[in-house]
Structure 1
Amino acid sequence: MALFTPTIVLPSLPIPSLSSSSVFATPQTVIRPYPKIRVSRTLLLPPPKALPVQEIAALKDSVIGLLRSSPPTWDSAIASNLLIFLLGSPILASGLSASGIGAALLLGVLTWRAFSWTGFLLVATYFVLGTAVTKVKIIQKEALGVAEKRRGRRGPGSVIGSSAAGCVCALLSIYGIGGSALAGFWQLGFVASFCTKLSDTVSSEIGKAYGQTTYLVTTFKVVPRGTEGAVSLEGTIAGLLASILLASVGYLMGEIDVPQAVICVLASQIANFGESLIGAAIQDKEGFHWLNNDVVNVINVSIGSILAILMQQLIKVS
C-alpha cells in the first residue's frame, strides 16, 4: 500500500532589496534655531558712584572726632577699642584665646570710658609685658608641667580674674560714685590693681624660669618650682621691678602722681605676699577646691587695690 505524502506550498513573499533606500534611509535632522533671549534693560544696574571727596573727608573727620572725644563717651570707647583690637589682633591672639579676646574687649571699653586712652595704655602695657614674660622659657616650663595652659594663651576666666578690681574701679568712676571727692581714689585703685597683677605674673613666671631655689612662704621649706605659695629670690625681685615699671607708666600717663606710684608699689608687694600665703595655706586643700587660680587672682588684685586706697586715705587724714 503506497503512502500519501502531502505537499505544502508556501506563498512567495517579496524580499526587500538590500539596496533599497527604504531600509537604510537616514532620518533627516531638522535643526531649529534657539529662541532669542531678550535682556531687559531694567536688569542692568548702573555702576556704583564714587563717594565725593567732601563726603570722605567728612567721614574721616567724624571718626577722628569720635576717637578724640573728651571726656570719653561709650561710642568713642567702643569705636576706639574695635579699631585697636582689629589692628592688634595678631598680638592679642598670641596671648589670649578667642573668648579671652572677647573679655579683653569688654575690659578695654570700660577702661577707655572711665580713664580715656591713658588708662587703656596702662592696661595695654600690662598685657604686653605679662604675655612676654609668660613665654619666657615656655618649653622648659611645659617640660616641668608648670606652664600656663594653651602655651600661655589666657582665657576669659584669667582676664576677668586679673581685671576684676580694675573693672570695679572703672565702673565706680564712670557712674561718679562718691563724686569728685572719690574720683582720684578709683583711679588710684585701678592703677594699683594692675601693678599688683603684673608683679604677681612676672614674679611667678620668672621664678618658674630662673628660680634657683623656691620656698614655701609659710614654712620656708624648699619645694619644686611652680608650687602654689612658693617664692624665689629671682621671681620676687623681678615682680618688684615690674610693679615699679607699671607704676611709672601710670605716672607718665598722668594717672597718678609720684607718692601714689610709691603707694601702688607697696600695695602690690603686700598683696602678692598675701596671695602666696593663700596659695601655701589653703589653695588645693580639702574643702577649698573652689579656690582656683582665677579666684585667687580676684582676691589678689582686690587686696592691692583696696590697700592703695586705704593708704591714700591715711596720708590725707594725717
Structure 2
Amino acid sequence: MAGIQTPISTWQTAVLANLLIFTVGSPILVSGLSLHGIAAAFLLGTLTWRSFGSNYFILVAAYFVIGTAATKVKMAQKESQGIAEKRKGRRGPRSVFGSSAAGILCAILRINCVGGEDFAHLWELGFIASFCTKLCDTVSSEIGKAFGKTTYLITSLKKVPRGSEGGVSIEGTVAGVVASSILACVGCLMGEQISWGEGMICVLASVFANVVESIIGATFQEKEGFLWLNNDAVNVINISMGTLFAIIIKHI
C-alpha cells in the first residue's frame, strides 16, 4: 500500500487550528489536564496536525475524551480508597508526554519522511497503535478500580487490592479492550489508508503490550533497585511496545 510522501499540513495551519480548538475547548481541557498539561497537549496537537492532518487530531481528541471520562468514573470512591489519580485525574505534562512519546516519535518520523514512501504507512499505523495501547491501559485501570469485583496479580493470580501494580480484573480488562477497539475504529474511519485488518492489529498489539506492562509492574515496579520505574516510565515502555508490535506485525 502506498504511503503519502509529504506531510499534509503546514506548521502555520497546525498552530492556528490548535489555537482555535484549544480556546473553544478549554472548558473540557481543564477538566482533564493541568495548565502545564494543556501546554503539553497543545504541542502534541500541533505536531499531530502537522504530520497527519486534522483527521488524526480527532483520533487524539477521542483518546483524551474517553480516557478522561474513565478516569472520572467513581472518583470519590477511588479517592476514599487512596487509588485515584492525583489532582482529581487532571494530567500534567509528564503524563501527557509519557503517554504520547511513541506517537510523537512516529509523527516526527512521518514529517521527516524517514524511510520514504515504504515506511510512511508504518508510522501512521504506529501512531494509531500507540494511542490504542495507552487508552487500553488507562480504561482498564480506571474501570477496574471503579467496578472490578476481584483483582488478581497477573504473575500469580493471587487476589490483591484494587489499584495494585500488576493487578488485573475482568471488568477492567474487557473495558480496556473495548476502548482500544473503539479508538482503532476511529483510526480506520479517519485514516485514508488504514484498513480494518490493520485496526485489529492495533487492538491486538495494545492488549499484548498491556499484558507485558502488567507483568513488569507486578515484577519490578516499587521494588528495591527499580524505584526509577515510576508510572511515567512504565507508560513509555508500554506504548513503545504496543507501537513496535503493531509495526512488526504489519511489516512481516
- The TM-score range, normalised by the shorter chain, is over 0.9
The higher relative CO (CA closer than 8 Å, separation ≥ 6) is in 2
5 Å-filtered alignment, 1:1-318, equals 71-255=8-192, 256-314=194-252
Q: TM-score, normalised by structure 1?
A: 0.76
Identical positions, percent: 63
Cα distance, 1:185 vs. partner? 0.2
1:253-310 alpha-carbon deviations (Å, 9 max, x no partner):
1252111001001000000001101110000100111110001000000000000000
Residue 168 of structure 2: SS of its match in structure 1?
Answer: strand
Asked if structure 1 preserves the Cα contact closer than 8 Å seen for 2:56 and 2:191, the reply is no
Q: Counterparts of 1:153 and 1:254 in 2: how far apart (Å)?
A: 29
Q: Which amino acid aligns with 2:80?
A: A
Structure 1: gaps spanning 5 or more residues: 1-69
Q: Counterparts of 2:113 and 2:189 in 1: how far apart (Å)?
A: 24
Q: Counterparts of 1:254 and 1:164 in 2: how far apart (Å)?
A: 20
Q: Counterparts of 1:146 and 1:236 in 2: how far apart (Å)?
A: 17
Q: TM-score, normalised by structure 2?
A: 0.96
1:94-146 alpha-carbon deviations (Å, 9 max, x no partner):
00000000000000011000000011000000000000010000000000000
Q: Counterparts of 2:19 and 2:240 in 1: how far apart (Å)?
A: 28
**Structure with the larger helix share:** 2
Asked if structure 1 preserves the Cα contact closer than 8 Å seen for 2:18 and 2:45, the reply is yes
Q: Counterparts of 1:236 and 1:170 in 2: how far apart (Å)?
A: 29
User: RMSD between aligned alpha carbons?
Assistant: 0.8
Cα distance, 1:162 vs. partner? 0.3
Q: Counterparts of 2:237 and 2:160 in 1: how far apart (Å)?
A: 24
Cα distance, 1:184 vs. partner? 0.2
Cα distance, 1:189 vs. partner? 0.2
Q: Which amino acid aligns with 2:164?
A: T
Cα distance, 1:192 vs. partner? 0.2
Count of residue pairs the alignment pairs up? 245
Residue 145 of structure 1: SS of its match in structure 2?
Answer: coil
Residue 215 of structure 1: SS of its match in structure 2?
Answer: strand
